[in-house]
Amino acid sequence: MPYFESPVDGTRLHFVDYGPAAGQVIVFVNSSYFGTEMWEYQMLPLAEAGYRCAGFDRRGHGRSDDVWGGFDLDSLADDVNGLLSHLELREVTLAGHSLGTAEVVRCLTRHGVERVARVALVAGMVPGAARSADHPGGVDPALVEAGNETFRRDRSAFFADGARAFFALDLAGNELSEAYVQYMVDRCHGSTARAGAALGDLVVTLNVAPELAKLDLPVLVVHGTHDTSAPLDLTGRRTAQLLPDSTLKIYENAGHGLFATHREQLTMDLREFMTSR
């Protein structure tokens, strides 16, 4: 299996690199808990269409090394840039989901846009949903911390109980098989308890609002109307307003897991975005 070493501390990180080497490049950055398998409905059709699709399992996730440290946002962003450098990628479309969008933003503000041409923020946690000095309308941080405590107490129940809301399965158009939902719940256990807890702590203080205004490149913002993990008005809409050059696409009835429930629409929008400029 292919690995590269983290530029932070040498942690071995598993990556995938699908499609033709000369194809237009899109690099996927995962949500918390998941590995690259979460993007199968985007990676495979795009690779078959001639795009080069790459991604990696975050430290403490999937087939990457189980480590204690490196879960601060700077280190996670450095790992993203490490993949871009390892594969010597250029003119990249950098696509992140959920907390992965924060890693994308920090990667660009920390390392620049020399390798990146455009960005897609899918169901993003950015700029940060929790209340802060410049976001008084945000969620009470104590509620986020309470969710983190629930995770620590019984993460198996946390994953299983949250699946329906994650995919908004009670809403029309979000039909997924029970087998697929169970598979994704199982995949969440591919992340270690340490990794999951550390990322949860990161969400409490997440605030990249000042950094969004510095992203001088095209950004596609995709968000669902019924995202309970990252409420649209606190994240997607606010992100689009802060960005200098953004396109906001709102998916009706979509939850946080729109990469599965709205797979064809997301893949089409990514492809259109990559070819429109």
Give the residue numbers annotated as catalytic, written as ranges.
98, 227, 256
d(CA 77, CA 87): 16
> Judging by DSSP bridges, how do beta strands 3-5 and 12-18 pair with one another?
antiparallel
3-class DSSP state of 5:
strand
| Six-digit token string for 151 | 């995770």
Count CA atoms closer than 13 A to 42's CA, side-chain side: 33
d(CA 51, CA 275): 11
> Which amino acid would we find at residue 200?
G
Question: 61-90: buried (b, 16+ CB within 10 Å) or exposed (e) per residue?
Answer: bbbbbebeebbebebbbbbbbbbbebbebe
> Judging by DSSP bridges, how do beta strands 116-122 and 52-56 pair with one another?
unpaired
How much of the chain is in helix, strand and coil states, percent to nearest 5? 40, 20, 40
Which run of H or E residues covers position 266?
helix 263-276
d(CA 108, CA 116): 8
d(CA 15, CA 63): 9
Which run of H or E residues covers position 14?
strand 12-18
Task: Single out the residue of 215, 27, 54, 56 nearest to residue 127, CA to CA.
Answer: 215
